[in-house]
Structure 1
Amino acid sequence: MKQSDNPDSSVFLTNSEAAEFLRLSPRTLEKQRVVGGGPPFRKFGRRVLYAQSDLQKWAEDRRFDNTSQF
């Protein structure tokens, strides 16, 4: 079965790829991992990966209709 055939499968992105996906700098994601508030991530040894589905959800959770909602 191909990964795209399984709706529960995730594509995992590196820090740089995740930053590009979100149009943020890689350094911003690195800082958010330390101080909190960033998207969920996974660690495999020393390697940090982000599930594309988590990045999409995290971005959707930051949707606002006007500035008074902050």
Structure 2
Amino acid sequence: MARPKTLKLFQLAGAPDESDPRAILRDGLPDRYLDADDIAAIFDVPKETVYQWRKKRTGPPGFRIGKHVRYDPADVRDYVAQRKRADIGAA
């Protein structure tokens, strides 16, 4: 029996259009990851503060893509929720 030439990674009911290989990757991923400028704007702090948070591991968790640091919007939301809970618990 001949082996198929292509391997389909996901064959789920209602899966994204398989004609666009990026559609499979988009399933469950954000449309866009945030960068340091975005984080600085969201929290209204200087970009240098975002770099210090990263260095001290005190801000929202980020990850590297090559030499660039990116932030998942879901992780940023979780970070904000965690900070809110910590502040409520301290009050």
Q: Could you say which residue in structure 2 is the equivalent of 1:43?
A: 64
CA RMSD of aligned residues (A): 2.2
Q: Give the whole-Å Cα distance in 2 for the aligned partners of 1:40 and 1:19.
A: 14
1:28: Cα distance to partner? 1.0
1:47-66 alignment runs, 5 A limit: 47-63=68-84, 64-65=87-88
5+ unaligned residues in a row in structure 1: which ranges?
Answer: none
5+ unaligned residues in a row in structure 2: which ranges?
Answer: 1-15, 17-22
1:23: Cα distance to partner? 2.7
Q: Give the whole-Å Cα distance in 2 for the aligned partners of 1:31 and 1:62.
A: 17
State the TM-score, normalizing by the size of structure 1: 0.74
1:14: Cα distance to partner? 1.1
Greater fraction strand: 1
1:18: Cα distance to partner? 1.8
Contact 1:22–1:55 (8 Å) recurs in 2: no
Amino acid at match of 1:9: L
1:21: Cα distance to partner? 2.0
Structure with max Cα Rg: 2
1:20-31 alignment runs, 5 A limit: 20-31=41-52
Q: Give the whole-Å Cα distance in 2 for the aligned partners of 1:24 and 1:59.
A: 15
**Larger relative contact order, structure 1 or 2 (CA cutoff 8 Å, min sep 6):** 1
Amino acid at match of 2:56: V
